[in-house]
Structure 1
């Protein structure tokens, strides 16, 4: 059965397309009931910076607190690992293994040159696997600790003659995680305060139930879930996001397009769920919405082409010098209109807007301040 195809009228603008994405991502309306629900819907949420990832989830789970996200990591109902693009993501535990089966081979090929520079061989990785598992077992026997910190693994590697300097150690740990031997588990103890690091734990001990999907079936599911949670999006957006080769992505699209809607916008085919597309009939909500999203949020990062929501002339204000570090963004009515920053610390912690042009209007300023208060309450909770 062919996909439903929608030709958009001139009334549909890039801002409307942006608001459709906000809706798909649970950023308009009621959001999700729990942290695991939000993460499972998004399939994989960029989480290289943990503080940003906490707020990314918080924006999608009304009434939640940072402690709820940390609690989900502690309980294993959400996991954090390197499933794609060599960067950390939050995922539902049952999804990690089958996604790694799809993505890890290509990622290993991409880092092969760097591993040669670091003198990392397959034998080194196998040795470090054995060292890591023995280290965790020993710590567990002493104080019932379920895993090891990065520093404890580095120390064990060094004692066995495996150099960890110059990023060699983190590449070794990453390789163990990408092969589903280790995964990041509960938060590490930091003297009674919320920690910024997690313990590394044996994959099979932490994730007892994993889905089993073949490559073709898995890519089709990954594409469908990406479009459902990120649409409107193109097949090239998905191929960039997942690092699935474009030929395989297009084949997967052909197998799931009967469950999706195709939008022809500006001569390009965008895909989205029927539920999101139905909003076009009654008017897409959120025209007056203002969101203070974290750096690296999927709303901006999750697409190869970000020009629908971020004007190209402002791109370097979000990613200065194209250094890969995304600043926090303000999104008004589906458009990225500026960045925002934290000021002060402790009880004096606050937030300030940094609009791209001019100043925020009174109503937008009030909405931003409400978002700032929500952020501060969330992070303190």
Structure 2
């Protein structure tokens, strides 16, 4: 007998999102580690996103900066490294081996091959030369503990060498050995990003030698990562999973079968939840508002987003490359955007008036004040700027 999959409506998905992503007052966390564990990963391409995503979910956001820095740079319970889709994330330390095996190894092989190919085309030195530079760089980094690319080049001058990439093409550029090699070493899991130069919004990061971790079977690691993500973010479609992981569809299907994922019906079509996760939430989430940063993992968690982000808002909220900017949320829906002005004021604008009334306006105002208080004198500009963010920040 064929069993009809249970239908999970958008309203239930929004409730799951609110509770599991720690966005309601009663579900806020006590530490950055709890938040990263609940979300699986925090986007780390823009350093400020990590702190703003944590601050939105901490019960006491006044400790956002020191507590997040402690986790990243002192206790190393959170690690910033390349992960899914060749993107920089911040992961719980216990997940680094899983991420490296499930997604990093394949990307790393492509990155090293591309680097050697580009060098050969430009007549640059060969793989033997590159290995010598790599070994010297890792040795210098081990001696220093943490270092910038410029500091490492003092110990290994060959890192400064350059070559012309794609000569004669409209995308011709000059590549430096340090930029490409450090990127490859990062994807390979040999080095990780360390404490930045400057404050918590700085993009000038040091590098450090990565801690050793066990080498895992690729298929087992993919199953472990998918189970973790579905528990935090399910239900999701196969397209969502393929997009988030960056894997081939055959790998997604193999991992779904391996973990016994359960099929459900979504408005978009067939979806999946983790084994044993079919039951609806015990009750509705209390009304909530949140100001989430650009590239926040909740806003970027799914490829198919109509259930929480109205399609008509996308042109104002995304840049030309598909990066989401700062978003205003009300009860599980994106309803607007926000920005910080030069004087520190948090300006916000509702773009979807159909979903917002007086209660929502008041709650959003409280959330904006919450951000202003803990960010204080620091000025934050998103790395990927969107039309409405630019307008609000002026």
Q: Under TM normalisation by the shorter chain, which class is it? A: 0.7 to 0.9
For residues 39 and 377 of structure 1, what CA distance do their matches in structure 2 show? 23
Contact 1:150 1:199 in 2 (8 A): yes
User: How do 1:37-52 and structure 2 match up within 5 A?
Assistant: 37-52=34-49
User: How do 1:1-381 and structure 2 match up within 5 A?
Assistant: 5-8=5-8, 12=9, 14-28=10-24, 29-64=26-61, 65-75=64-74, 76-108=76-108, 111=111, 112-113=113-114, 116-117=117-118, 122-123=127-128, 125-138=130-143, 140=144, 146-154=145-153, 156=155, 158-160=157-159, 162-163=161-162, 166=174, 168=176, 169-185=178-194, 187-190=195-198, 194=200, 196=202, 197-203=204-210, 207-208=211-212, 210-257=213-260, 260-266=261-267, 268-273=269-274, 277-280=278-281, 282-286=282-286, 288-320=287-319, 322-344=320-342, 348-358=343-353, 361-380=357-376
What's the TM-score, normalizing by structure 2? 0.79
Structure 2 stretches lacking a partner, 5+ long: 164-172, 379-394
Deviates further, 75-84 or 157-166: 157-166
Structure 1 stretches lacking a partner, 5+ long: 141-145
Deviates further, 65-74 or 36-45: 36-45
What's the TM-score, normalizing by structure 1? 0.82
Cα RMSD after superposing both structures: 3.0
Deviation at 1:160, TM superposition (A): 4.9
For residues 37 and 251 of structure 1, what CA distance do their matches in structure 2 show? 29
For residues 103 and 278 of structure 1, what CA distance do their matches in structure 2 show? 30
Contact 2:98 2:222 in 1 (8 A): no
For residues 291 and 193 of structure 2, what CA distance do their matches in structure 1 show? 28
Deviation at 1:256, TM superposition (A): 1.4
Contact 2:30 2:58 in 1 (8 A): yes
Question: Given the superposition, is the C-alpha separation of residues 106 and 313 from structure 1 closer, same or farther in structure 2, using an over 3 Å criterion?
Answer: farther
Secondary structure at 2:303 match in 1: coil
Secondary structure at 2:82 match in 1: strand
Count residues with an aligned counterpart: 355
Secondary structure at 1:301 match in 2: coil
Deviation at 1:73, TM superposition (A): 0.9
Contact 1:331 1:337 in 2 (8 A): yes
